[in-house]
Every structure is written in structure tokens, then in C-alpha cells.
Copies of this chain bind each other. A is one copy, B any other.
Amino acid sequence: MDFKIRAAIKEDCKEIQRMIMELAIYEKMPEQVKISHEELERDGFGQNSYFECLVAEVPEEHKYKAGHTVVGYSLYFYKYSTWKGCVIHIEDLYVMQEFRGNGIGKALLSKVAEVGKKKQCQRLELNVLDWNKPSRDFYAAKGAVDLTESEGWHALRFHGQSLDNLANEAPED
């Protein structure tokens, strides 16, 4: 199937928001999604850009029954390792179910890797859920190392009340 990978533009944010929700349903946490397409427009394409995004597009004749031609996306940003410098991080990589098996996911992943290399990043990182075997197999086949298994890294989070408590206890300047 013909498809094209291109940089997302502001006008793609409605379609990206739709796919963010589809991915959250697949990940069994749809109630977690609080982001609107207006917020994506502001946060990715406004004055302070927190992320960049690629989309996969198919020609009109292949469009899905609901009319979508944007059928996949990869949203990424830059982190920093105090050991190795710049790191490119994929927050989401998603292809609509009806369009899987055509190499679109692989193309999105490779394109982000290319972007990262151009920026001198030594690492490309992402997180997967332990029960998501199709994704884990996909990334492992391409050479990803599971840092949680090999080095024992755990991800921690403060949010809600615990984050407020911390912030309220900050020493004065």
C-alpha cells in the first residue's frame, strides 16, 4: 500500500487527537486522556513547542471507511542524558488497525531515528506496557534493549496531591 511519512502540521491535530484516543483505548486507559486538539495545537505548534510529530498518510483511494487519510503518527521530543547528551524519545507510535502490516509503523520509527541522528542524539528511547507483546516483539526485533529488565530501571511519578505537596514545601528563593 502506498503511504507517505511527513511532518505534522497544526491542521493535523484533530486527527492526531483522534488517534491518541484510539491508542489509549488499546492501552486500556481511555479515561486518562485529557488532551484536546486545541491543546495539541498550542503545545506543539505554538510559541513553546513541547513536541514534534510525524504522520503517515495514505492516498485518497485507500482511505478508511470513515474517511481518514491520516492513519498513523509518531509523537516525539528531546530528553537529555547526563552520560550521553541528547536523547530522542518517542511518546506515541500508532498505526490504525486496518492499516497495519504495510510497514507504516516501521517507517515512522525509522524516520524518528533519522531525525534523532541528524540532531546528534546517541539514543532513541520509548516506553512499552509489559503485556503489549506485539509492540515489545516489534521493537525487540529491531534491536531495542529493555532497560527495565537489563539494568532495573523503574519509572516513578508524582502527580495530583503529592506533586502539590512537594511544590508547596519548596524553599523560598
Q: Please give the residue numbers on chain A whose beta carbons come within 8 Å of chain B beta carbons, in ascending order.
A: 5-6, 20, 23-24, 29, 32-35, 39-40, 43-44, 50-51, 75, 77-86, 89, 91-92, 106-107, 109-111, 113-114, 116-117, 122-131, 136, 139, 142-149, 151-159, 161-167, 169-171, 173
Given A107-B170, A148-B155, the answer on whether A77 and B75 have CB atoms closer than 8 Å is: no
- Pick from B24, B127, B158: contact of A113, CB below 8 A: B158
CB distance from A165 to the nearest CB of B (A): 7
How far does the Cβ of A3 sit from chain B's closest Cβ, in whole Å? 9
Give 14 pairs: A residue, B residue, CB < 8 Å, sorted on A: A23-B82, A24-B83, A34-B83, A50-B79, A50-B86, A82-B91, A107-B171, A110-B169, A110-B171, A116-B163, A124-B166, A130-B154, A136-B154, A148-B154
